[in-house]
């Protein structure tokens, strides 16, 4: 027998019982973004490999080890996007969205990274991201954080996430800091693991966010990035902290929160949770004033964040046992066999014309009335519409309120009014 074909490791199917929750969460997230005046941008999933090499750097793991890149039929090197910011900036430059105007954008969709799959870490995962271009003050950084805080409130997870914040200053400040850090780490070379040794030569600042507990302990004695920050960045950061205090958003300054790329500067923030085990970062954001220029545009300040949707969905499920939402319908249409199936389908169409927001499911595949009523229950229907042969001929239908057991036979023209009176 031929072997069954399975999905690619780390790339999930999202089954019907789960997609209802995804839809609810996405709707809540989008409504909050809309309420702040952010607009959606839709971007391709495949881009030229060079875009990510130029935007993220050739040495960073996401590009070097994790990116799905391939040659297409023309021999062009293409990549499945590992993140959304680079595409967003590319599109902004290409369509002239960025200059002399402030843009507040968001996007949602799948991202691809060849990582080791585990809970909260997949090879195809989904992000909802927001990017603001053309604003340099700390006020907009604060707005993005306030917006995310509102998302958590709307989803009922605020109590389970906390905000970590840092400033990584200007590129110059980081170059000076890295000299001090490398000299410290070189003195403790035998305490470093293989990964940190590699980073020491390629991207030393990333050693600061190592997950190795022994090295974390060693870092307690390392020089502090904060002591190397330039005045402009310090002022920006204290401005941001002031806005957050004003908004009543608690935060923890984490001096080890960093980004490893040159074009990142000033604000970095993460929303973390302890409810998900090792993959605890639900949302990561920060300022990247250097990227637009790096990708060939005119220097434009920018700041954004990305929410990892799988982690957010896991969090919502972990903290809220009532969110096992499955698809429910309002009404289930039961029909007595093949002779009336066509009439039943037409009746359902007419009801949907009149009540577009009604969730009405028609029975298919026949079955006894008992079986069909059982199906109505499975889908949580409040009302059963029953079309027997006699009713079909007389242009009538039986409407049964499944909560009270009351039923009556009505002219089909009266069914809409009856549904409204039962369902409210
Ligand atoms: P991590 O340190 O967990 O690998 P990251 O720094 O690589 O995260 P970012 O590139 O900042 O992550 O992406 C933003 C968010 O996207 C992360 O905070 C996380 O919620 C989510 N994310 C990143 N990689 C994955 C993945 N492989 N699977 C699921 N979610 C992911
Ligand atoms: Mg990662």
What secondary structure does DSSP assign to 82-136, as a single string? Answer: S-SHHHHHHHHHHTT-STTS-EEEEEEEEEE-----BTTB-SEEEEEEEEEES--
Q: Which of 71, 75, 91, 80 is nearest to 52 (CA)?
A: 80
- Ligand 1 pocket by Cβ (under 6 Å): 83, 113, 115, 120-122, 125, 127, 279, 281-282, 284, 306, 308, 310-311
Q: How confident is the model at residue 327 (pLDDT cuts 50, 70, 90)?
A: low
Termini Cα distance of the chain:
54
Tens-digit pLDDT profile for residues 178-223: 999 999 999 999 999 998 998 888 889 989 988 889 999 999 999 9
Q: Which of 157, 281, 316 to mutate to test the pocket of ligand 1 (most atoms within 8 A of CB)?
A: 281
Nearest ligand to the CA atom of 118:
1
Q: Residue 34's pLDDT is what?
A: 94
Q: Looking at ligand 1, which residue's alpha carbon is closest to its atom 21?
A: 308
Distance CA(61)–CA(124), nearest Å, equals 16
Whether 17 has a pLDDT exceeding 90, the answer reads no
- Cβ neighbours of residue 411 closer than 8 Å, sequence gap 6 or more: 395, 396
Which ligand sits nearest to residue 148's alpha carbon?
A: 1
Q: Calculate how far, in angstroms, residue 327's C-alpha sits from the geometric centre of ligand 1.
A: 29
Q: Ligand 2 centroid to 62 CA: how many Å? A: 7
* Token code pair at residue 306: 């990305």
Q: Is 96 within 8 Å of 90 (Cβ atoms)?
A: no
Q: Could you give the CA distance from residue 144 to residue 36 in angstroms, rounded to a whole number?
A: 9
Q: Which residues contact 60 (CB under 8 A, 6 or more apart)?
A: 203, 260, 261
Extract the tokens encoding 365: 């595949």
pLDDT at site 406: 96
Residue 142 CA to ligand 1 center (angstroms) comes to: 22
Taking each helix axis as running N to C, give the angle between helix 194-202 and helix 171-187, from 0 to 180 degrees, rounded to the nearest 10: 140
Higher pLDDT, 321 or 209: 209
120 Cα to the center of ligand 1, angstroms: 9
* Closest atom, ligand 1, to C-alpha of 209: 2
Beta carbons within 10 angstroms of residue 136's beta carbon: 15
* List of long-range contacts for 348-354, beta carbons under 8 Å, 24+ apart: 350/412, 351/385, 351/415, 351/416, 351/419, 354/416
Q: How far is the CA of 82 from the centre of ligand 1 (A)?
A: 10
How far, in Å, from the CA of 206 to the mean position of ligand 1?
A: 15
Confidence of residue 278 (pLDDT cuts 50, 70, 90): confident
The bound ligand whose nearest atom lies closest to the alpha carbon of 65 is 2
User: How many other β-carbons are positioned within 10 Å of the β-carbon of residue 26?
Assistant: 17
Give the global pTM.
0.86
Condensed to tens digits (0 to 9), the pLDDT of residues 339-360 reads 999 999 999 999 999 999 999 9
Longest CA span, the chain: 92
C-alpha 186/C-alpha 199 separation (Å) is 12
Q: Ligand 1 center to residue 328 CA distance, Å?
A: 33
- The answer to whether 410 and 399 have CB atoms below 8 angstroms apart is yes
- DSSP H helices, 205-337, are 213-219, 231-246, 291-294, 309-319
Smallest CA separation from ligand 1 atom 26, residue: 121
CA-CA-CA-CA torsion for 326, 332, 336, 342, nearest 10 degrees? -100
- State the burial class of residue 234 (Cβ atoms within 10 Å of its Cβ: 0-12, 13-18, 19+): middle
* Nearest atom in ligand 1 to 279's CA: 3
| Nearest-angstrom CA–CA distance, 139 and 106 | 18
Hey, whose CA ends up nearest to atom 12 of ligand 1?
Answer: 284
What's the rounded Cα separation, in Å, for the pair 79 and 67? 7
Contact by Cβ (8 Å): 167, 236: yes
Task: Compute how many other C-beta atoms are within 10 angstroms of the C-beta atom of residue 37.
Answer: 8
229: DSSP letter? -
pLDDT reported for residue 234: 97
**pLDDT value at 321 more than 70:** no
Considering every ligand atom shown, identify the ligand nearest to the alpha carbon of residue 125 and give its number. 1
d(CA 366, CA 339): 10
Average pLDDT over residues 58-63: 78
Mean pLDDT score, 85-97 = 96
33 sits in which H/E element: helix 16-35
pLDDT at 263: 79
Encode pLDDT of 294-306 as tens digits. 999 999 999 999 9
Q: What is the pLDDT of residue 262?
A: 73
Q: Hey, CA dihedral for 286, 300, 291, 169, is it positive or negative?
A: negative
Q: Indicate whether 58 pLDDT > 80.
A: no
Sign of CA dihedral 85, 88, 92, 93: positive
Ligand 1 centre from 128 Cα, in Å?
11
Mean pLDDT along residues 223-229: 93
289's tokens: 């004033």
Probe target for ligand 1 pocket from 306, 310, 313, 316, with the most ligand atoms within 8 Å of CB: 306
């Amino acid at each position: 027998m031929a072997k069954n074909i399975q999905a690619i490791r780390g790339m999930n199917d999202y089954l019907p019982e789960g997609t209802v929750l995804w839809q609810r969460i996405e709707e809540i997230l989008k409504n909050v973004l809309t309420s702040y005046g952010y607009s959606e941008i839709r971007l391709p999933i495949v881009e030229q490999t060079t875009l990510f090499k130029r935007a993220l750097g050739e040495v960073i793991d996401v590009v070097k080890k994790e990116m799905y890149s391939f040659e297409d039929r023309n021999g062009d090197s293409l990549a499945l996007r590992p993140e959304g910011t680079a595409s967003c900036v590319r599109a902004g430059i290409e369509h002239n969205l960025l200059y002399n105007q402030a843009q507040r954008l968001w996007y949602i969709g799948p991202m691809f990274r060849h990582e080791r799959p585990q809970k909260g870490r997949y090879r195809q995962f989904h992000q909802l991201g927001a990017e603001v271009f053309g604003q340099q003050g700390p006020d907009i950084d604060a707005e993005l954080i306030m917006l995310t805080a509102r998302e958590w409130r709307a989803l009922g997870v605020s109590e389970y996430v906390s905000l970590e914040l840092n400033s990584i200053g200007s590129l110059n400040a980081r170059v000076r800091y890295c000299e001090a850090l490398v000299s410290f780490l070189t003195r403790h070379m035998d305490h470093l693991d293989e990964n940190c040794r590699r980073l020491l030569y390629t991207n030393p600042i990333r050693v600061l966010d190592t997950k190795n507990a022994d090295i974390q302990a060693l870092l307690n004695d390392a020089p502090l990035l904060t002591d190397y920050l330039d005045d402009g960045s310090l002022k920006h950061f204290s401005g941001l902290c002031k806005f957050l205090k004003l908004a009543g958003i608690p935060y923890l300054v984490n001096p080890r929160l960093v980004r490893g790329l040159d074009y990142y500067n000033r604000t970095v923030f993460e929303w973390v949770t302890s409810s998900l085990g090792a993959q605890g970062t639900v949302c990561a954001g920060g300022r990247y004033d250097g990227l637009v220029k790096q990708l060939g545009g005119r220097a434009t300040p920018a700041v954004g964040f990305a929410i990892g949707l799988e982690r957010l969905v896991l969090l919502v499920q972990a903290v809220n046992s009532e969110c096992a939402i499955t698809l429910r319908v309002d009404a289930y249409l039961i029909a007595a066999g093949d002779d009336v199936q066509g009439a039943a389908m037409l009746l359902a169409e007419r009801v949907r014309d009149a009540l577009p927001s009604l969730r009405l499911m028609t029975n298919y595949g026949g079955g006894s009335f008992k079986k069909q009523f059982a199906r109505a229950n499975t889908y949580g229907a409040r009302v059963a519409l029953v079309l027997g042969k006699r009713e079909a001929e007389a242009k009538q239908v039986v409407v049964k309120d499944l909560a009270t057991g009351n039923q009556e036979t009505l002219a089909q023209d009266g069914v809409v009014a009856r549904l409204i009176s039962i369902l409210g």
